[in-house]
Amino acid sequence: MAADMPEATVQNILDQESLKWVFVGGKGGVGKTTCSSILSICLASVRSSVLIISTDPAHNLSDAFQQRFTKSPTLVQGFSNLFAMEVDPTVETDDLAGPEGMDSLFSDLANAIPGIDEAMSFAEMLKLVQTMDYATIVFDTAPTGHTLRLLQFPATLEKGLSKLMSLKSRFGGLMNQMSRMFGMEDEFGEDALLGRLEGLKDVIEQVNRQFKDPDLTTFVCVCIPEFLSLYETERLVQELAKFEIDTHNIIINQVLYDDEDVESKLLRARMRMQQKYLDQFYMLYDDFNITKLPLLPEEVTGVEALKAFSHKFLTPYIPPTSRSNVEDMERKVHTLRLQLKTAEEELERMKSG
């Protein structure tokens, strides 16, 4: 049975050379950024170039690599082919506005179509990324709700375009008159704005087709062995199926491994609780590659720490007791045999006496 189970590592992602887009997502606080950073390091060892993008407003990439990143791709220190950038859709709406009075027009337009600002910002970012020749792009996404919204951006842009077209038919040349008033007809005229939105829609539709191609795109779900995280992962997997986006990798982080030397009642209780949810993960996702990562006593930050932890992504983790303490176990077995022999002799004496 074990032979039929998918490999318990992310090696399958490295082996799939056709992959262009790798999304990493899950509930907040489960270690998405650490996992996506390490995944990008692993990919950089087998790809010509890798870009990791954070789309989480609470950027942690800079903290993970201990290096400052901006909205332009920056080479990660210690690498020649790994780049990182942090994109914040909520602040980049400034890029859509013109000076002075035009600001309110464009902010009103953005407010009229919920999510259009993020969608346009995301499309602009994808447009930029497509002009660069990265072999693989890893997305460190925001918590689940934001991620699902990101996947809805093509539909949002389409809705935005149709809304603008209806505004055009209703208000005729009003936007052109306003742009002429402010002397920005070429840049912010009705046709220019619609042309720009059309261009972004084309980009995001092309990318959306790629996102739905399992040869080009996959989604890695990161979670921890607890009820809320299991629930959120199931929700995410269902939504990804709805969007026709491939997912066959789950990383279960912060796993406590049983060690007979552990005397803490709290730790033992947590292990039992985790085991219950681990069993459920394996039952629900028996056809997924499930990678288990141990809970560490320290944080994983900085390139060296990330590299050191990366081997646990490529080889199933075995706790030290079962890996290196064979001699200790043999000694314990020998001692128990002696104790058993002594007890049996004592029992015989009691029977005969």
pLDDT 10s per residue in the chain (353 long)?
A: 455 678 889 999 999 999 999 999 888 889 999 999 999 999 999 999 999 998 777 778 999 999 999 888 999 999 999 999 988 755 444 444 444 444 455 555 555 555 566 666 676 677 777 777 899 999 998 776 666 766 777 667 667 666 766 766 665 565 566 555 555 444 545 566 667 667 767 777 777 788 889 999 999 999 999 999 999 999 999 989 988 899 999 999 999 987 656 778 898 899 999 999 999 999 999 999 999 999 998 999 999 999 999 999 999 887 765 545 676 677 778 778 888 888 888 888 888 87
Counting DSSP H helices and E strands in the chain, the numbers are 15, 8
Tokens matching residue 12:
């399958």
Do the annotations mark residue 33 as ligand-binding?
yes
Task: Report if residue 111 sits inside a domain.
Answer: yes
The structure's pTM equals 0.77
Measured distance CA(306)–CA(290) in Å, rounded: 20
- Answer yes or no: do 341 and 288 share one domain: no
**Positions marked active-site:** 56
Annotated binding-site residue? 233 = no
Does one domain contain both 233 and 347? no
Question: Are 346 and 216 in the same domain?
Answer: no
Verify that 287 and 345 share a domain, yes or no: no
Instruction: Name the residue range of residue 234's domain.
Output: 10-318
Is 145 flagged in the annotation as binding? no
Asked whether residue 329 falls in the same domain as residue 308, the answer is no
According to the annotation, is 27 in a ligand binding site?
A: yes
- For residue 298, report the phi and psi dihedrals to the nearest 5 degrees: -130, 165
**Whether residue 346 sits in one domain with residue 291:** no
Long-range contacts (CB closer than 8 Å, 24 or more residues apart) made by 230-237 = 230/277, 230/280, 230/281, 232/26, 232/27, 232/144, 233/26, 233/27, 233/281, 234/284, 235/144, 236/25, 236/26, 236/144, 236/147, 236/148, 237/285
| Total of domains in the chain | 2
284 within 8 A of 234, measured Cβ to Cβ: yes
Rounded Cα–Cα distance for residues 353 and 350 (Å): 5
